[in-house]
Structure 1
């Protein structure tokens, strides 16, 4: 029984989330009794890059080498993934629960009449049917979803599973998909590419700011702390809506969902909408001058005080600690 994994790439290069989905697919294949792990890759990617997938558990790659797929298009992507599943006879399809995965998973499920579990946080179990664990109610509870359809689809929350590299190799074959020009009806007008940063979905360390910083002119102290930690910056929705920070830094129910090892929240009250995007962080540190801020209830560590006094001292402490390690 084949397991198909749709593998995202960024300008022809695979990132951590890609290897995470392949690892997940390989473990899922073991749990359902073995079988091939087939990776579907769309767009312009070199053979050297494709061969990397074998080291993370793929046994075959179906590659549709068409430059039109270098720009995301939900309709074309979903049809190509469906074609890949049919070509290899996959009974389980794995995707990442990221922007592209969220966009196409439902479409693929409809095309294949498949049951879909979105946002999985554990591997499927098969002792009592095919059951997948996910969070519900903005991360406040868990649901165990039994999938009874012939074809099953899982999208997994990025940065949830450990990535393990091995010594495997893959056979690369062409993916045959009957696509027309109408499938590429959506055209890209422009694109803003963020360079030199670890994407929030893959970041192990995140430093985030809210309205408590009072304005974009004060973000320097947060940037200094982020540099000292080697962390990626984030923000709350009101900050992004006010255009203090770029939208791609917004985390929360209507922004990005992250699972870093450390999340430092500065001047963020901790409304449920924000917590929904960050409450799976391994360790949460909250800095807020309001001792009644709701975020303190979700925090592992809390500091009640003025961020403009605390952050410079914390930044210096981090620098000293790191210097002492060398």
Structure 2
């Protein structure tokens, strides 16, 4: 009987020791091979595979021990796919909690107002940790993959800062930007002025892209839009350099020449009336709102002062004087 009691006592003590050791291990910082260790947990990965992947990535512990902790906790099936990073001081308990909560390490990419789709794609190709699924795709193939076959990509993506987890697809970021622009454009169109000479949201998007390229100054956006709206109302050509430059494409060398203004393309608003066939850049929210609610003005012309602001004129004579002063250095 005494022997049995001793055996039971030893079992209890062993269990307590084991529990104590487990508690100590669960709260003790994991040893890392590098200052930080990153891991992308893919959808469908098993808890065992996740434990092994952490050890392979640089968490210096037993993969079996880590797996058993995941399993014993009862939360193994609650681990979320995502991109995770652990630093010195992270315990096994904190590691599991991070994955269960989906506390991902996010990276950001900034897509700038006024950029073209070509520039958007180049920036995404440079983005840290972003999977380049579109690398071998043409623009048309990208739009098809996004569910917009036959749609020209220019102007269709909202410029903003987008956060993503490492290993995410560039298509996912583009899809978010696409949907963001569609929402922003729809909201702006609902707020349009009643007498606007624009028939569709598409035309508003085109005009907004021109406004975006013509000025970066918040105070001038409404007036620039007002000038173009006035011209559209009376059938006057828009005569805006950014559309000509866009039409020149890769052949534009940074110097817009007279022959460029006289060479007819679908985007040359000096040789063709009305709006160009597509947007010429990605407009931001302020340009979208300016296009649908232009500032009332009688001006038909404007010229840059050279300091970011513009001079607006109602007559050609006034405009020529402003051009002579601010562009040619005259009195």
Query: TM class by shorter-chain length?
Result: under 0.3
* TM-score of the two chains, using structure 2 as the length reference: 0.27
Could you say which structure has the larger radius of gyration? 2
Structure with the bigger percentage of helix: 2
* TM-score of the two chains, using structure 1 as the length reference: 0.28
